[in-house]
Amino acid sequence: MITELLLAICTAVFLCLSYRYAVGRPSGFPPGPPRIPLFGSYLFMLMINFKYLHKAALTLSRWYKSDIIGLYVGPFPAVVVHNAEGVREVLNNKVFDGRPQIFVGAMRDPGPEIRGIFFQDGPLWKEQRRFILRYLRDFGFGRRFDQLELVIQEQLTDMLDLIRNGPKYQHEHEMVKPKGYRVLLPLLFNPFAVNCHFHIVYNECQSREEMGRLLKLCQMGMQFQRNADDYGRLLSQMPWIRHFWPGWSGYNTLHEANLFVHKFFSDFVDRHLDSYEEGVERNFVDVYIAEMRRSPGYGFNRDQFIMGLVDFSFPAFTAIGVQLSLLVQYLMLYPDVLRRMQSEIDEVVGCGRLPTLEDRKNLPFTEATVREGLRIETLVPSDVPHKALEDTELMGYKIPKDTIVVPSLYAFHSDDRVWKDPEQFRPERFLDAEGKLSLKLDVSLPFGAGKRLCAGETFARNMLFLMTATMCQHFDFVLAPNDRLPDLSQNLGGLIISPPDFWVQLQDRH
């Protein structure tokens, strides 16, 4: 009898503690789903929408009838914000400028510390970001720069030649079929975009013959982007899982990508260290090396420089090509938009030269189409996660220090309280009554905002405009036999949204 009574008491205590653990949350924390040991609320999100976790979070937000929800990502408390006011507050309030120290971020660096820019905060992040942006601007990053525009024109000319005449070198067969005009997206765009970025960093471009390793860099970058996710995968919640299930957990795939990317940039830095001459600044790399010599230490050293370059270059060898490929999908689905763009480009630019940034002000519909593509397919739907640096409040709720804070850019860009018809691909939403581009009408935040604003926004917008205008000036996107129109539901989740690799048939317009 006593044994049965003790068993009953123990069972009751266990159930009570389990219930309190499952539904317990800090005082004043936003409403949200329960948690279970090890996984937190992550499994519930996977059950709701395994493919797109940002949509799972939005579903939970609607379930709890709250624009902000609180949950647990493994052992870490997190809040996710789903309205314009909250998203802007997270992005612009320095209290939320921290970065959570998640394993998927740490595993990019073979060392014991988290270095670079993306996953850093505090004095090191501020110092490195300020220095890199300050001196990269001198070489054309983040501003109009005539020499850079000439390089971009050269890269676009090479890309057009590859499309029309087919591959000359073995690695080009991965991007274009032998007879030309049939191209693999997003792979085709990325090496030409990153070549332009590398011109800024070290004042050189890889020739088409030398582009094989650059192509591999783009592929490994995409491998990382597609196999990470908004909330760090199970690897960030249970890093030990990699020792038992390295394949199933995604560790092997991510580790392979990280090793290649890190080796690429470490070789790059070492070449410049070996050839560096005191007092001679050939490029931004030399400027950084000079600062390393003047101020050696934790902030300015080889390992930090490698990861800083990785972070500043990553969008160039992955994101630009992906965003442009997403836009191509919409142009194939909305041919009237493509024809209107082409008519505008024909009238302003003609066919005797390539579009330039000077043409931009006279191509408002083309620019509006690029902006609509950035809105409707938010590349980084949950932004890179933020962290509360102190106890604070957000939208009337208490947010403890070190809480992960996720501003859902996807929810903001698809909110019918902000956009009248957010599900429609409608570039003219950014044009005024006279058909001119109105920046007042574009309240989208595809690159984030505040101190964590993507440093490459200007470069990315310039590249997207020029590459889009050039492709639409020269080609129609047509369906070859056995081709089908893009199915947007098949686009891949991950750290970014991306289309699966797909072949597109092009046809000369002139």
- The domain that holds 300 is classified in CATH as 1.10.630.10
Give me the pLDDT at residue 332, please: 97
**Does residue 8 fall inside a structural domain?**
no
What backbone torsions phi and psi does residue 398 show, to the nearest 5 degrees? -85, 130
- Whole-angstrom distance, CA of residue 229 vs CA of residue 258: 15
Ranking 15-29, 243-257, 270-284 by mean pLDDT, the lowest is 15-29
User: Cis (ω within 30 of 0) for the bond into 355?
Assistant: no
H/E element holding 132?
helix 122-138
193: in domain:
yes
Give counts: helices (H), strands (E), the chain.
Answer: 19, 9
490, part of any domain? yes
Q: Look at residue 456 and tell me whether its pLDDT is greater than 90.
A: no
**Is 4 domain-assigned?**
no
Res. 508: pLDDT tops 90: yes
Q: Domain range spanning residue 133?
A: 25-508
Higher pLDDT, 300 or 392: 392
Hey, which residues does 71 pair with through a beta bridge? 78
- The answer to whether residue 3 sits within a structural domain is no
Q: Is residue 452 part of a domain?
A: yes
**Count of domains observed in the chain:** 1
Contact in structure between 223 and 108 (CB atoms under 8 Å): no
pTM of the model: 0.92
Per-residue pLDDT reduced to its tens digit, 86-131: 999 999 999 999 998 888 888 888 877 788 888 888 888 888 888 8
| pLDDT over threshold 60, residue 18 | no
Alpha carbons within 13 angstroms on the beta-carbon side of residue 254 total 28
Residue 10 inside a domain? The answer is: no
- CA distances 434 to 170, 219, 238, 430, Å, are 50, 43, 55, 11
Rounded Cα–Cα distance for residues 488 and 477 (Å): 16
d(CA 424, CA 444): 15
CA gap 136, 93 in Å, rounded: 26
Q: Return the HEC string of 451-493.
A: HHCCCCHHHHHHHHHHHHHHHHHHEEEECCCCCCCCCHHHCEC
